[in-house]
Every structure is written in C-alpha cells, then in structure tokens.
A and B are shown apart, each in its own frame.
Chain A
C-alpha cells in the first residue's frame, strides 16, 4: 500500500500538477523527523514562543457540582495566539525554512488558521499570503485586521461562493505557480498525504503532556479523553498518544448545529458517507451524487464537511467513539465553564465540554475525564455576544461607530 493511507482512507487524490510539490514536501518532512536539531528547535519554540506545556487543571467546582467522574481540563487556549493550531504551524513553518522557502501560503475560513500562519511567518521572517473568501472577510474583520498587523497580505477571493473552498482553490493555484519559493501551510489533519500525518505528528505533544501531567496529579491514565472534531487536528493531538492504551476511551465530539436536518449540522459520521474530496478519502457530508453539502455550526472551526482520514479509520476500527452536541448545548457549556471554572473556551472547545458535562454524572468518582480545551474564546466575542443577544454590546458597537 502506498504511504499516507489509513486503512482505506487518506491517500493523495490530486491532479498531477500537485504531485511533485507533495513529493518534495514528503521527502523534506521525512528527513526532518530524523534530524535531532529540528526537533530541538521545534520544542524550544513551543516552550519559549508558544508557552508549552499548557496546564492540565482539575475542574474542582464542576466535578463537585456534577458528582461523578473527576474532570480535568487541558487548557490549550493558553497557547500563543489562543489555540492548539500554533503548534503545527510552528512545525510546518520550521519545515518551510528547512526547505529554503521564503513565502508561506495559506487559506483561511474564519481566520484563525490564517492568524497562526501570519504569526509564524512574522516570527521566521517570511512573507505570508493568506487567501480568504470575500464573504468570510466581511464576516471576520477582526481576524483580517490582526493578520494585517502581523504583516500578512490577506488576498480576497472574489469568485465562487467566496468562502473557504474558493480560498483553498486560490491558495493551491498560487502554490503550483510559486512552488520553488513557497510553502503551502495546511491547517488540519486533512488534505492529501503527507499533511494528515505531518500535522498529527506535530500535534501529538498534547497527548504526551496530558499523560505526564495526569500521572503527576492522579497517578493513573485518564479513563476518557474528550475532544471536539472539525478537521480533527486537536483531537488527533490529544488522542494519538493513547491509541495503543486500549483502556483509555477516546471520544470525538462533532457539531450537531441547529439539528439533524441536512445542512443544519456538521455530523460527518451519522449524516455523511465515504468520498474523495480535496485530495483525500474519508467521510464527507455529501449528497447521493457526491456533491459536498453545506454545513452549519455556531463554531466556525467545526463546520467542515469532511473529517481527517485517520479519524475515519479509527472510527471504523472502533478505537474512537463519536458523539455530537448542538449549538445550544455548546453555548450552555460555554457559560457553565466560564462561571464555574473561570475559563472562557472557544466555541469549538465548548462542544467537547458539553459532552463531558453529560458524561461525568454517569461515571464513578474514581474515573477521570480529560477534556481537551483546544482554544480560548476571545475570538468568538462577536458570535457569543450575538448568540446571547447582549444589548449592551450592541450599543457599545453603535457608540464605537460614532467615533469614526
């Protein structure tokens, strides 16, 4: 079997024009893995630039309130730029440098990935071009503003639906044309080989930290690790280390959105089927003709129609279980976590939290759940203020405009 396959999933289903670039990347990645200097530099940046290790904190108040399993929170939101994403962006940025590339190309939907890329490019003194659909730019001005402050060029994509799909297309086109000096930084465990493997390898430090930290606190392995799943980078990061340890149950939480109707959620495993899209084989939300369907989630990071191929494989193997929670449950969990534990989570991470809140009371007090809080909630300010219909926030915005 060619490399990059996870059972029947994964692969490199791309046009010929992309293959030489992906082969070059694969070779460079494999050689970086064998280089102790590369690893040293990566770990040094994670510690001194990103703030690793992130804390694993005992959620005492919630544990007592729910009366069941002990809940621990892996606070990935304390990473530089506010989420786990910076970790694989640092890894890929170092790889880009090693390959002698001068430019980072990225696409972004809500803007978080673009922001992490812009940060890394600034740190490494590289040029950064971020493609973003015009519609997304209109919706996510704060992130565009920050990317520009970091020195990135945000290029509006004016064709198609003017959202993520079109941004991917524009970024790939740029990459094909400028492959000799440019690196395409893909932001999750999706896409053609070697991206899913590479992103997982950079992220697996999260699970390693969880295991060490919990050993110190509880002298045992977690009984459950819970993580939200969009493309799946934070979940693969948290889960990877526990895959061989069968006594640890691994639960991925998908976005249940507004409900079970088609287009109202991003539950790939219940609503989707196997397909080949954007260069890899996995589960996708698609119709009977294989057309990728629209998705919805209150959380921008979870409304992706596909899921990482390794997660699809591990689901079929029965190693990872998948659940979903609705927008409303996630927003409730957001409030609960903020008021009981003093942590404002990203809406993505609030999905993992919401499931843990349902799970904990059903378990014994001896058991331990680790919830991977992939990011902090600052970025969701506008969405949360809108969801909670905060009148004062709206009047603040009106006053803000008066100062123009």
Chain B
C-alpha cells in the first residue's frame, strides 16, 4: 500500500489533524532543502511536498514564484529533485510528494517521470496544470497509477459544483483545497463564504481534505480544523526563509512546533 494512504488511515484512527508542509527544491539551496525536510519529518509532519522549480509557475503566488526563480538562478536541475528524494526518502517517515508543473513532467517523459519518481521514494504527484480534460490525450493519471503514485487533485473556491463532481471521479488520496484569496484578518476568522465552501467540498468528497489557505499561525490552524483533515503550510515557510537567511532553520522549526501544538 502507498505510504500516503497508510498515513491517512493512521490520522483517521488517531482522529488527529494532519500537517503537510512545502519546500521548493534548491531554495534557499539544495543542502538547505535537505535540512528543512529532515527537520520537518522529525517534528512529525505527515506529508512533505517537494516543489520542482519551474520558470513559469502559473498557479503560484509571488512568494513561491520568487523561490522558484532563486532556485533556478542558482542552477537547480530537475535531476536534483530526484537525487534529493532518493537521498531523503530512506531517512524519513513522512511520505514525500513532488509538486511540479506539467511541462516538467512532459519534457522528462511522463511515463519515465512517474517511474523514476517512484524509484526515488516519491508517493504522490501534485501537478496543478493537468486538468482532467487534458489527461485524455496525455495519460498522466494512468502513468501515475501504473507506477503506484497517487495523483493529488487541487481545487479552489473558484471550482463550482460541476467541477467538484468531475474531480470527485478521479481524485485519489486526499483532495487539496487551496486559494490565493479569501483569507480575512487572522483575528476576524475565516470569511463565511470560505467556511460555506469548505462544507460543500466536504459533502462532495469522501476522501480527506487538505486545506491550504495562507496558514501562517496557530489561530488559522484552529479556524480550519473543523473543516480540514490536513492543514497545508505553504508559503509561510518560504517567507520565514526569505526573511531569515542565516537562521531560517531554527525559525522554521519553532514556527512549525507552534503550529502543531
């Protein structure tokens, strides 16, 4: 069985909110990415996304775009992501996922990408610009499944009921709900439209919900707890790295510790 599924089962039994964190391969540098992942795993993070940097990341906001650009400028290659996964996976218990744009997968060769990812200890792929309609001619989901990888689908508050139902048919593992908008002041709580949306998503899908809504504090974790099975911490980590180039490791560690309390 895939380690993502095992971890999801474990969370369910223990009735605990899971955590997924995100790093950009090669940001702030390759050694730094490695240390971050080891530290995250030690803290008991449940899933770790390794984002393979891409020059034109359509789905990402400024923070992740900048991290991708910095990483590419310092010479990170797609091969480095596979090498890093191979190096890290035997040392950690959190399942690793690749987050990549479809061009990275396509250029590498879809079938080969999935095969090599699996061989490097990757358990799931998040490819946000591969919608279901295009998969018909690309065969990406099939390549994942053939190689024992879970393809994670990403939806947002812009996804209407029709899209939710279309995604429901193919989604595996957990459904990733993300947004670049919708967060009001941390103290004011979640926008009622967002809670309504999360309720709707929960009623449509029978797989767990991973929610990434600019989670940057314990308060925000509490806000989504009711509606989410997994809290996704994305750009907040990158912001800390960005602002603390010297002691980011310690800073990220205490930030995550606080979130998980």
Beta-carbon contacts under 8 Å, B88-127 to A: 101-104, 106-108
Interface residue from B103, B128, B129, B137 paired with A290 (Cβ < 8 Å): B103
| A292 sits at the interface (CB 8 A) | yes
A166 adjacent to B65 (CB under 8 Å): yes
Report if B77 contacts A (CB, 8 A). yes
A160 at the interface (CB under 8 A from B): yes
Q: Are B104 and A290 neighbours in the complex by a CB distance under 8 Å? A: yes
Q: Is the CB of B156 within 8 A of A173?
A: no
* Chain B residue at smallest Cβ distance from A292: B55
With contact pairs A16-B156, A159-B66 given, residues A289 and B104 touching in the complex (Cβ less than 8 Å): yes
- A176-B158 contact in complex given A13-B130, A276-B129, C-beta closer than 8 Å: yes
Contacts of B56 in A (CB 8 A): 165, 277-278, 292
Please name the residue on chain B nearest to A22 by beta carbon: B131
Contact of B69 among A19, A160, A176, A177 (CB under 8 A): A160
Q: How far does the Cβ of B151 sit from chain A's closest Cβ, in whole Å?
A: 13
Chain A residues within an 8 Å CB radius of B130: 13
Q: A168-185 interface mask toward B, CB cutoff 8 Å, 1 = contact, 0 = none?
A: 010011001101000000
Does B74 lie at the interface of the complex (its beta carbon under 8 Å from any beta carbon of A)? no
Task: Tell me which residues across on chain A come within 8 A of B159, comparing CB atoms.
Answer: 16-17, 19-20
A290 and B106 in contact, given A15-B58, A17-B59 (Cβ under 8 angstroms): yes
Residue B167 interfacial (CB < 8 Å): yes
A8 touches B137 (CB 8 A): yes
B133 touching A12, Cβ below 8 Å: yes
- Please, how many angstroms separate the alpha-carbon atoms of A176 and B108 in the complex? 30
Chain A interface extent, by class = 35 or more
Residue total for B at the interface (Cβ-Cβ under 8 A): 43
State whether B62 touches A291 (Cβ < 8 A): no
User: Is residue A18 within 8 Å, beta carbon to beta carbon, of the partner chain?
Assistant: yes
Minimal beta-carbon separation of A178 from chain B (angstroms): 9
B21-64 CB mask vs A (1 if < 8 Å, else 0) is: 00000000000000000000000000000000011111111100
- Say yes or no: A12-B131 contact (C-beta < 8 A), given A289-B107, A290-B104: yes
B254 contacts the other chain (CB 8 A): no
Shortest distance between the CB of B137 and any CB in chain A (Å): 7
Is B136 located at the chain interface by the 8 A CB criterion? yes
Is A290 a contact of B107 with CB atoms below 8 Å? yes
Question: Does residue B220 face the partner (Cβ distance < 8 Å to A)?
Answer: no
List residues of chain A with CB within 8 A of the CB of B102. Answer: 13, 276
Given contacts A12-B131, A19-B163, A179-B158, contact A279 B61 (CB under 8 A): no
The answer to whether residues A15 and B107 also contact, given A278-B58, A291-B54 and a CB cut-off of 8 A, is no
A173 B180 Cβ-Cβ under 8 A: yes
Chain B residue with the shortest CB-CB distance to A18 = B158
Chain A stretch 285-344: residues in CB contact (< 8 A) with chain B: 286, 288-292
Q: How far is the CB of B260 from chain A (nearest CB, A)?
A: 28
A291 to B159, CA, bound (A): 29
B residues within 8 A CB of A12? 131, 133-134
A14 touches B58 (CB 8 A): yes
Task: Select which of A19, A273, A289 is within 8 A of B131 by beta carbon.
Answer: A19
Contact A13 B65 (CB under 8 A): no
Which residues of B (211-246) have their CB < 8 Å from a CB of A? Answer: none
Q: Which residues of B contact A5 (CB under 8 A)?
A: 137
| Chain B residues numbered 152-179 whose CB sits less than 8 Å from any CB in chain A | 153-160, 163, 167, 179
CB-based contact A2/B133 at 8 Å: yes
Establish whether residues B65 and A169, one from each chain, have CB atoms under 8 Å apart when the complex forms: yes
Q: What residues on A are CB-neighbors of B160 within 8 Å?
A: 20
Contacts of B137 in A (CB 8 A): 1, 5, 8, 11
A14 to B156, CA, bound (A): 13
Whether, in the assembled complex, A57 has its beta carbon less than 8 Å from a beta carbon of chain B, the answer is: no
- Which residues of B sit under 8 angstroms from A166, Cβ to Cβ? 65
CB distance from A162 to the nearest CB of B (A): 11
A12 and B131 alpha carbons, distance in the complex (Å): 8
Q: Does A99 sit at the interface, judged by CB under 8 A?
A: no
A160-B66, A176-B158, A290-B103 are contacts. A16–B181 as well, Cβ < 8 Å? no
Tell yes or no: A21 within 8 A of B by CB. Answer: yes
- Kindly identify which residue among B57, B77, B136, B158 contacts A289, using a CB–CB cutoff of 8 Å: B77
CB pairs A–B below 8 angstroms (7 shown) = A13-B102, A17-B180, A169-B60, A276-B106, A279-B129, A289-B104, A292-B56
Given A11-B134, A14-B131, A159-B65: 5 more A-B contacts, CB < 8 Å: A14-B129, A17-B59, A176-B158, A289-B104, A289-B107
A residues with a Cβ closer than 8 A to B are 1-2, 5, 8, 11-21, 159-161, 165-166, 169, 172-173, 176-177, 179, 273, 275-279, 286, 288-292
